[in-house]
Every structure is written in structure tokens, then in C-alpha cells.
Structure 1
Amino acid sequence: MTLRSLHAVMLLWAVCPGAQGQCEKPSETNKLNLSITYELPTFTADFPIQNMVTLDGIIYVGAVNRIYALAPNLTKLSEYHTGPLLANETCGQKSTGSGSVGSRVDNHNIALVVENIYDKGLYSCGSADNGVCRRHVLDEDESPKTVDEEVYCFANKGRYGRSQPSDSDVVVSPSGSQVLNVESNVITFFVGNSEIPGMGNILDSAPRPHTISLRKMKTSQNGFTFFSDRSYMDLIPPLRGNYYLRYVHAFHSGPFTYFLTVQQVSKDSQTYHTRIVRMCSSDLMIRRYVEMPLECISTDKRRRRSTDDVKVFNILQAANVAKVTDVELQKQLKVDEDDDVLFAAFAQGKPNSPEPTANSAVCVMSMKQINYLFKRYMQRCDTVDPYHFTGSDKKSCYNVVRAFKLLLCPTLHL
């Protein structure tokens, strides 16, 4: 990696050379001193770890059938058993769906979210429970905070005893989900549910989670509700079960909420790429939705650039948004110390497949530049309707005034 330069390329069906930034050879001054024995705190879970969040210095770890609470030195404080659960039950109530009586299934931790506005809550959403989440109340007077008491299932048990959980309470999908809470006057939960052809889904008789949605917790704090019937979007019926869409990461930066996805290039294509989705965090309805392809490209600086020297990494594996403290990197990216920067790990995909190969690279992109490209594409009319949600792929042209309004996010007042 020291012999190659990496640059990020934003695309809207075509390469945009204005998005390039380069990483220089790493410094040789920070080599690890191998003569010193480093003793680092460790924690070994009994089950595979799938999610991790922190609140007030406590680390909460979501794993298969368990949620662990850890001290800052990784000492286990408590553990809560989330499974195995009966396959035909949700929140302890029998489902009308199919499933072998008495059979139990592992509960994989699909999402783990914390909030700091109501009662300092921890939300866990598993592959069992038909997409319903659980709320763990963390007592402020208790130190250290644990997750083994006051657990509430987000489903109306009275209604569920007769049929199924309400549509808004079905949050996650066994195919994978990204859940992000954005706190202002109200906590808004942004949810992206993956659609993986051939993967098992929730019981056929149970409500199917919306592909992308935003919702809030009820004032009774025992479930969710949508702001309106425009607070969610779904893949069009012909594509459900036939279109690959995987939500890899979600984050909040400035006035926007972002999702990073891996999906098919188009409805008829068998090639795959990564996209970045942007929405206004203050919107109570999905009105300012825009997405743009994203790739990581490696070129060999020792040779004259040609197509043979270019490696495209198209399948996102992981991502994180942070501030840059390194002065040199700030200069290269043209960012200030308070600006958000996206660190993204990509892999080269197998031919006509979303599966990654062993070849990978990490690209660094400033959110300022990404937002500039969103604005540029919209103002240049390089936009089309998202076919997978609208059923239309016609070109949608926004003039400067309209595009400017779509790029702004209003302040939320409730």
C-alpha cells in the first residue's frame, strides 16, 4: 500500500475526476516498539459479537443470544439472554405464522442503539421476535448500569394476541438492517432493511419491514409509530425478492443522515456497486432523498496511468465517520479539524457478484466534498428517479433554485 496512491471517486453513472484525493507514504516515525510487552484489556464473548455501542462509559455488546455490559477496562458487568427463542412467538405471544411448535432459533443481534433523552435506553433488535425490538431501561441511579432488568418488548401484546405486531413495530429484517437514532426535540429512528434474494425472511404471515423508513417512539414508550404514510419507502413489488440491496452502515453528519449500501447497478444488471444515500435528519417524511454511487480506486504512481494500472474496489465492507487530527491529512483532504471525514473499507467484488474477494483498500473522503458532489450533480441535471423505489428511471432535472431548496434541511420545531 505504500507504493500505491488511493483516491476516492464519486460517480453518478460516470467517473467524476474532481473527487480525487491522495494518501502519501505513511510516516516511519511511529513504528511499534517490539521490545515492549503491551498488556491490553480483553473480553472474550461466549457467542459471536455482532454490534457494539457505548453510553456513559459503559460498553454494550450485542452478540448471538446475548447482550453484555462491559466496564471501560472490558470487565463484564452483566449479561442479558436474548435467545434462543421459540420460532413461532413474538414478545412471548404465540404467532399465527407457521413454524414447528416448540422449536427454538438463535437470536442474532441485528441492531443495537442507545438514546439519552427519555430514560437512558438501550434498544436491541434481533433476528427472532419477527422484527420487533426490545427496550432496556438503564437506571441512572444504578452504578454500574446493567441490562438484566426492566426490559420491554416493542409490540402491542393485546393486539398481538389476536393477530400480529403493528406495522410500525416491525423494525428489522433477518437479512440485515441498519438502525440510527438522531436526537433533537424528538428521537427519530432511521431504518434501512436489506433485501437479499434467497435469504429467509420473517414468517410469511407476519408484517414485512419497510425497506427504508423513519419513525419515533410512542409517548407510552412501548412501541414505535410512523410520522405519516410518507415516512417509509419500499422496493417496488416486481423487485422484492429479486433485487440485491444491502445496508452496510448508517451515520449522521451535519443536517443529514446517510446510509451506505451495496446493490445492483440497475434492475437488469448483474454487476454490483456501492451507493451513498442522503436524507434530511429533520424531515418527518422522506422528501429530500438522493443517492449516488461510490467507489474506491487504486492507481500505481510509478507507471503512466492506463486502464491496466487502475484497480476498482466496488464492494463496501465497513465504514466510519470521524474527525481528522493529522495536519498533513487535513491539508490533503482540504478539511478543517471540525469537519467530518468518511473512512471506508472496500473490496473488489467477484465477477457479477456482491461477494468480496481478498483484494481490499481503504479510502478517505471528506463529507464536505461528498455534499458538494450531491449539489453539483443535482444542479447539472445529472439525476434520474431511483427505479427500485419509484418504478421509473426517467431523468429528473432540478434547476438551481429548486436544487438549492432540496439541498437545505429545515430546522425541526415540535
Structure 2
Amino acid sequence: TMNLLLLHATVLLWALCPSMQNYCDKSSETSKLNLSVTYKLPTFTADFPIQNMVTLDGIIYVGAVNRIYALAPNLTKLSEYHTGPLLANQACGLTQSRPGTTSGVDNHNIALVVENIYDKGLYSCGSVDNGVCRRHVLDDGNSLKAIDEEVYCFADKVQPGQGHPIDADVVVSPSGSQVLNVESNVITFFVGNSEIPKAGNISGSVMRLHTISQRKMKTSQNGFTFFSSLSHMDLIPSLQGNYYLRYVYSFHSGPFTYFLTVQQVSKDTQAYHTRIVRMCSSDLVIRRYVEMPLECISTNKRRRRATEEVKVFNILQAAHVTKVGNDAELQKQVKAEEDEDVLFAAFAQGQPGSPEPTPNSAVCVMSLKHINNMFKMYMQKCNTIDPYHFTGSERTSCYNMVRASRGKEGMYRLQVTQFVQRLEYWHKDLKNTLVTSITVVPVNGRTVAYLGTADGRHIQYVNFLFYLLLMWQITKIPLIGPGCGQLTTCTSCLLSSKVTQCGWCDGRCTRRLQCPSSSAWSQDNCTPVITKVFPSSGPIRGSTTVTICGRNFGFDKTENFKTSMVNVEVAGAQCKLARQDNINRYVCVGNFTPSGHLVKVTSGHVVAKLEGFKFVVRCLFFFLNRFCFVLK
């Protein structure tokens, strides 16, 4: 009997304990983005997949398979040039026809480059033209010309179906190329040609191209010339066709020209990483060349510690160089001045033993000043070797500091053996996402990055007009963003960059002009909402801890909880803050006396109310001795 009574007492005590289900439900506002929202924006749809895009004097030039388009700023087509499909006698230079082939071959646009010195012109370099580029004269000083009006093979004594291009006129590779025009008093093309083992040769050409080179335009404007045999470097014969080297991005900053590559770590490994290559733009030959490994890393905290797990993003997907500008936050992040160049680089984690990326990305940002300081430090410390893929040697090779200090810097071709690692700038929002393109522009004192993804989405990070390039389309997007409708909650709306000009109106995120004049539009406050209070009852006397669930308690645009903004009353009595986990949970303690049943939260100037708090006197009978205890 005693055991039975104890069991009854235990059951009663359990029944009077706070419910195990008394916790705040996950906020319904956790979903911040509705990626299904669509906007009607100016769009140009090409007939074939788009591969490159450049602008000159406000005109947009688009390189696609078999087409070059000239578009107005509003994406209206001005003119087009058919680059393919081409028969053998239509390609630049003499091409041997493939047996049994009577139809044309698709011409992929490898590179699209503009020029400003002699005439305003465009170079379109296709996969079927034996590595030769075609020159489109756009303005000869007398009149503007359509993209298809004056076009010729830019190679000496080479015409469609006739002639053999000389070495210097063979510019691009079917495996992919980065071509950069660095103009001074002459036009100089810096070219990196990718080497992809077992890659299909699009054009069927067996011509061997230089891996990295620089060439200048002839004053006769009928082709290019190399200054000497030192104007190019090639993979050593044993690696040709057996070594992965992909040129991803090229740019010019200060006195240097840079390439970013993805390549094998060494000849004996199937590990891959990213390198940054630096050359002197003023050199007539490749006289001062150095490359250095580059990694983007992510940790759980912004400051790296040895005990933390480090995620390495090793495969570069896209990059963009821009000025720091007057974005104070970016200046602080990269420790750079307003007029300095910074590199935004989108990386992915690579598949094991493969240069192919996984859908997990991060963006790292670093100043060119920092990169050059790293080059200088490692070169001075002799953390350098010969680049084996170009020299066949891996011996330690040191930069001659003595000659450099005398202003007689000698020739060097070096590979830094140390990694340059940077903490990611953005990562948490790019999990399960493969970033494939990045464009960065300054807007109203902030730096805006636009990321294109493998599934055709674009993501705007704080922030006029931007052109989004997809496989078949170009879309014109305002730099402030296409709209606010994808932000589905008040908090996500108000926490978006001020550049987007979004605010909260009648339960949706809009711009001010889209909010009815009779409604309130706010960029500062979100109305608090109470969804649950527990316990739902308490004793008449004594201290009671009350947890209030909801959202937007003490919310401000810094996303920090501000106690000074919040006032809580339970049944007419003040409730003092015990702890506050986030803007969706508030725990307070109060001594309550019967004065209604209302729970009220005031956040800033807006109030949320919920009926339902009760006062009770609880008795617990202990059956054996019939005592009654009042619970408080």
C-alpha cells in the first residue's frame, strides 16, 4: 500500500511540474528568402549559349557560340556577326577538312577583347579559326560601324581558307584562354592558354600553342609579333597533355599583370589548388615572373585559432578586381586605402583528387598591396623554387636582392612555396551553392558584389545598373537590386543593406513608392509579436519566472538586442529581464498580484499583447499524512 501511495504521489508531482513541451517553437520567420519571386526586367536572349561579354563606350558586345552581338544599354540588339558554323574554307587560315564532313563546325567564343589606341575595335577569338582572332573595326575616326561591317582575320597573310598563321598570330586555345589587353603606347596582349588533359579539341587543329605569352600588335595592324623567344613559356614536353592548368581570370593593377590559375600542386600528385601569377607589364619579354599558391579558408570564428577546424576552399571559380573606394567597412576589413585595388575571389571546395568543384563556395577579399607584400616577403626569404612545369627543375631559386637594391633587377622566374591564406568574407550563405561568376561595383559608399550561381540564380551582397549573364540570356538589373519581394520577413527586410532601399509596409517588404500612402513604411522597427507564454499560470505570491516567445523583441537594424527598447508587463506588473537569448525569446522574473490576465511587450514605440496569464492556488495532498502545501 505504501508503494502504491508513493506512486500516486509521484504521478501527482509529475503532473504539477512544468510541461516538458514548454519551449519556444522555432520562429516561423527563419526563412528569410523566397527564391521563387520573379521580376520583369529588360532581357536579351541569344540564339546560342553566351560565353563572353565586354563593354565599350556604352555598347555591350556579347560573344556566343556562332555569334557576336552588339547591344544598346537597354539590351536592344544593334547588330550581329555570324562567326559560325564554319566550313573549312571559311575559317581564318588553311584548315584541313575532316573526312566525311560536309557541314559547318560550331565556333565557340574563346575570348572577346576591346582596344582603344589605333581605332576603337573588338577582337573576337573563336575555336574554329586556328587560334587566330578576328578584328572588328568599330570606329575608324570617321564613323561608327556595325559589328559586322569591317571584320578581318588578324594575322599576316591570312584570310578565310587561305594562308598559315605565324607563331605570334596564334593566340587562343580551344581548351580555354585568358586574354588581357594592356595598352600603353602600343597594344600588348598577355595570354594564358589552358592545358586540360584529354580535353576535346573543338576545332580539330593540331597546332601547339604557347602556354603563357605576351605579344604586341604590329604598327601595320595586320597581326602580332613576339619581341623574342623569351616572350613565351610552355609546359615542358613530359607534362604536355598530362598536367592540368586552367587560366581562370586575368587583370592589370599598377605596374603588374596578373593571372589566376587552377592547377596541379605538383607533377606527382592529383591534388589541385589555385595560384596567382604576376608579371611586369612594361617588360617586352617574360623577364620577371613569379607565381604563388592562394587559398580561401573558413573557420567557425572570424579569427583563426589552431584548435579550430579549418575549411579549405581551393578551386577558384571566378574573380573581380575593383577599387576599395570609400566603403569604410571594406577598408577596415582588408586594411587598404580608398584608391587601392582589391581582389574579390569566389572559391569552391574541390572534389577529392579532382579540379572539379563541389557546390560549397566562399568569397575571399584581399588587397593587391597585401598580395604584393607576400610576394616580396617570400622572395626575400628565398621561399622560392624554379616552376617545374615550365623549367623541368624544382631546385631552390632565390631572388637577387643585391642587384635589385642597386636598381638592376635581373631576370627571374620563380614559384613561391608558401601558401597565402585568407579568411572568407562570405561563406555561411553559400553552403550548397556553386558560385560561377562575380562582379563588384561601388554604390553610394558601399561595395556591392553580385554572384552568379551554377543553377542560374544571382545573389546580391551589399551594394545604377548591372548586367547578369546567364547561358542564353543577359538581364539588366538595377544595382540596388531588382526588388524587395524575395525578403519575406520584417527582420530580413530591415537588415538588408540600405543600398537596396527596402522597408516594411503592410506585412511585406517594398520600396517606399510601392507602399500605399495610407500605410506606414518603416526602415527602423519591426512590430513585436507574442506567440506563447509559459508557464501560463503562477502563484498569487512569490517570484515567478516567465518565458515569452515571439519575435522582434528589442529588434533594431544592428541585429543586436537592446534592453532599453523593451518593457514587459505580466498581469499589470513589471517583469525584470532574467536573460534574453535572441530577439525571439524573453525570460523575465516578477512578483505578480492579481491585476488582469494580459501579457504586454513594448518594443520601441510599438506594443504586442496576449491574453491568458492566470493566478492559481495549488494544493498538493500527500495521501499518507493528509497535508496540504500551497505552491508559490
The answer, yes or no, to whether TM exceeds 0.5 is yes
State the alpha-carbon separation in 2 of the partners of residues 302 and 190 from structure 1. Answer: 37
State the alpha-carbon separation in 2 of the partners of residues 304 and 288 from structure 1. Answer: 34
State the alpha-carbon separation in 2 of the partners of residues 304 and 188 from structure 1. Answer: 42
Indicate conservation of the 8 Å contact 1:233/1:389, yes or no.
Answer: yes
Q: Is 1:219 paired with 2:208?
A: no
Question: 2:57: which partner in 1?
Answer: 56
Question: 2:352: which partner in 1?
Answer: 351
Q: Return the letter of the residue paired with 1:67.
A: I
Q: Return the letter of the residue paired with 1:251.
A: F
Question: 2:45: which partner in 1?
Answer: 44
SS at match of 2:248: strand
Question: 2:270: which partner in 1?
Answer: 270
What pairs up with 1:8-27 in 2 under 5 angstroms? none
Residues 205-245 of structure 1 deviation map (CA, whole Å, 9 limit, x = unaligned): 75321100000112221211111111001000000000000
Question: 1:320: which partner in 2?
Answer: 320
Closer, same or farther in 2 for the Cα pair 1:68/1:406, shift >3 Å?
A: farther
SS at match of 1:172: coil
Residues 288-333 of structure 1 deviation map (CA, whole Å, 9 limit, x = unaligned): 0000000100110199945662110000000010012311111221
State the alpha-carbon separation in 1 of the partners of residues 106 and 132 from structure 2. Answer: 15
What pairs up with 1:265-414 in 2 under 5 angstroms? 265-301=265-301, 305=305, 309-325=309-325, 326-402=327-403
Q: Return the letter of the residue paired with 1:313.
A: F
Indicate conservation of the 8 Å contact 2:400/2:409, yes or no.
Answer: no
Residues 17-71 of structure 1 deviation map (CA, whole Å, 9 limit, x = unaligned): xxxxxxxxxxxxxx99x9x996532222121111111111111011111111111
State the alpha-carbon separation in 1 of the partners of residues 377 and 283 from structure 2. Answer: 22
State the alpha-carbon separation in 2 of the partners of residues 100 and 87 from structure 1. Answer: 12
State the alpha-carbon separation in 1 of the partners of residues 264 and 122 from structure 2. Answer: 34
Q: Return the letter of the residue paired with 1:156.
A: D
Question: 1:245: which partner in 2?
Answer: 245
Q: Is 1:210 paired with 2:210?
A: yes
Once the 2 structures are TM-superposed, how far is the Cα of residue 156 of structure 1 from its aligned partner?
Answer: 3.4
Indicate conservation of the 8 Å contact 1:97/1:203, yes or no.
Answer: no
SS at match of 2:172: coil
Identify the range of structure 1 (345-354 vs 152-161) with the bigger mean alpha-carbon deviation.
Answer: 152-161
TM-score (norm 1): 0.84
Q: Is 1:90 paired with 2:129?
A: no
Once the 2 structures are TM-superposed, how far is the Cα of residue 337 of structure 1 from its aligned partner?
Answer: 1.2
Q: Return the letter of the residue paired with 2:346.
A: A
Identify the range of structure 1 (134-143 vs 190-199) with the bigger mean alpha-carbon deviation.
Answer: 134-143
Question: 1:126: which partner in 2?
Answer: 126
Indicate conservation of the 8 Å contact 1:175/1:194, yes or no.
Answer: yes
Closer, same or farther in 2 for the Cα pair 1:112/1:162, shift >3 Å?
A: closer
Closer, same or farther in 2 for the Cα pair 1:158/1:370, shift >3 Å?
A: closer
Once the 2 structures are TM-superposed, how far is the Cα of residue 390 of structure 1 from its aligned partner?
Answer: 0.5
Bigger RCO of structures 1 and 2 (CA < 8 A, at least 6 apart)? 1
- Amino-acid identity (%): 78
Residues 246-289 of structure 1 deviation map (CA, whole Å, 9 limit, x = unaligned): 00000000000000000000011110000000000000100100
Identify the range of structure 1 (296-305 vs 253-262) with the bigger mean alpha-carbon deviation.
Answer: 296-305
Closer, same or farther in 2 for the Cα pair 1:282/1:78, shift >3 Å?
A: same
Q: Return the letter of the residue paired with 1:400.
A: M
Q: Return the letter of the residue paired with 2:222.
A: N
Q: Return the letter of the residue paired with 1:44.
A: T
Question: 1:27: which partner in 2?
Answer: none
Q: Return the letter of the residue paired with 1:240.
A: Q
Closer, same or farther in 2 for the Cα pair 1:41/1:161, shift >3 Å?
A: closer
State the alpha-carbon separation in 1 of the partners of residues 236 and 211 from structure 2. Answer: 10
State the alpha-carbon separation in 2 of the partners of residues 223 and 204 from structure 1. Answer: 23
Once the 2 structures are TM-superposed, how far is the Cα of residue 94 of structure 1 from its aligned partner?
Answer: 3.7
SS at match of 2:45: coil
Question: 2:137: which partner in 1?
Answer: 137
Question: 2:167: which partner in 1?
Answer: 167
Q: Return the letter of the residue paired with 2:345.
A: A
State the alpha-carbon separation in 2 of the partners of residues 396 and 402 from structure 1. Answer: 15
Closer, same or farther in 2 for the Cα pair 1:52/1:307, shift >3 Å?
A: farther
Question: 1:180: which partner in 2?
Answer: 180
Q: Return the letter of the residue paired with 2:379.
A: M
Indicate conservation of the 8 Å contact 1:87/1:103, yes or no.
Answer: no
SS at match of 2:246: strand
Closer, same or farther in 2 for the Cα pair 1:303/1:182, shift >3 Å?
A: closer
Residues 137-173 of structure 1 deviation map (CA, whole Å, 9 limit, x = unaligned): 0025445x52011001023346997863211111101
Q: Return the letter of the residue paired with 1:215.
A: R
Q: Is 1:107 paired with 2:104?
A: no
Closer, same or farther in 2 for the Cα pair 1:158/1:55, shift >3 Å?
A: closer
Identify the range of structure 1 (133-142 vs 226-235) with the bigger mean alpha-carbon deviation.
Answer: 133-142
State the alpha-carbon separation in 1 of the partners of residues 168 and 197 from structure 2. Answer: 23
Question: 1:70: which partner in 2?
Answer: 71
Once the 2 structures are TM-superposed, how far is the Cα of residue 88 of structure 1 from its aligned partner?
Answer: 6.8
Residues 363-391 of structure 1 deviation map (CA, whole Å, 9 limit, x = unaligned): 00100000000000000000000000011
Question: 1:117: which partner in 2?
Answer: 117
SS at match of 1:358: strand
State the alpha-carbon separation in 2 of the partners of residues 253 and 99 from structure 1. Answer: 47
Give the unaligned 5+ runs of structure 2: 1-31, 412-632
Closer, same or farther in 2 for the Cα pair 1:336/1:304, shift >3 Å?
A: closer
State the alpha-carbon separation in 1 of the partners of residues 119 and 382 from structure 2. Answer: 46
State the alpha-carbon separation in 2 of the partners of residues 304 and 214 from structure 1. Answer: 40
Q: Return the letter of the residue paired with 2:225.
A: T
Indicate conservation of the 8 Å contact 1:275/1:293, yes or no.
Answer: yes
Looking at CA atoms only, which structure, 1 or 2, has the larger radius of gyration? 2
Corresponding pairs, count: 376
Aligned-pair Cα RMSD in Å: 2.8
SS at match of 1:388: helix
Identify the range of structure 1 (305-314 vs 170-179) with the bigger mean alpha-carbon deviation.
Answer: 305-314
Once the 2 structures are TM-superposed, how far is the Cα of residue 86 of structure 1 from its aligned partner?
Answer: 1.9
Q: Return the letter of the residue paired with 1:330.
A: Q
Closer, same or farther in 2 for the Cα pair 1:275/1:129, shift >3 Å?
A: same
